[in-house]
Amino acid sequence: MYQIPCVARNYGLVLQDKPEDYFNYNNEVVNVQDGRNYALTKKLGSGQYSDVYKTIDVRNQRTMVCKVLKRYSETAFKREIKILRELHNGVNVINFFEAVYFPNTSNQQNRFLITKEACSLLASLLRYDPQERATARETLYHKYFAY
C-alpha cells in the first residue's frame, strides 16, 4: 500500500529552519519581578494550566491581562516565557511585558479578587430582610461591575 506523507496544511514545516536555541527553553534567562506592582482584579478565564486575570498596574493605573500558572515548575515556566517572547508583536497575539511572582497564588488565588467593591456587593446580597436585600437591577449597576 502506498503511504502519503502527512504534513499540517498551514504550519507543518514552519519550524524546520529554526536554530537549536529556538527550541531550548532550559537556558532561557527570566528576570522575575515582584508582583506587588499589580492588582489582580477579576478572573477572566481558566484553563488546565493557568488562569487569566484582569490586572491593574498600580504604578500607572494601566489595565492589562495577567496569566497565572496554576502549577509552578521551572521547566514549564521557562517554556511559557520563551513562547510568549517568541510570539511578541505577532498578529492577534498579546504582548509580553514581564514575568511576575505572586506569592501564594496557588493556595490563595481568590485573595486578590476580594476588593472593597466585592465585599460591598456581597453584603448587599446577603441581607436577611428581603426588603433590604439588593435587587437584580441594583446588583447590575453596583460599582463592582463598573470595571
42 assigned to a ligand binding site: no
* DSSP element (H, E) containing 42: strand 38-46
Q: Of the candidates 82, 70, 137, 138, which has an alpha carbon nearest to the alpha carbon of residue 106?
A: 70
Q: Are strands 62-69 and 99-101 parallel, antiparallel or unpaired?
A: unpaired
E strands, 58-104, where?
62-69, 99-101
31 near 17, Cβ under 8 Å? no
| CA-to-CA separations, 86 to 56, 63, 90, 120, in angstroms, rounded | 24, 23, 9, 42
Q: Which residue has the cell 508583536?
A: 89
Q: Which residues are annotated as a binding site?
A: 67
Which residues line the annotated binding site for ATP? 67
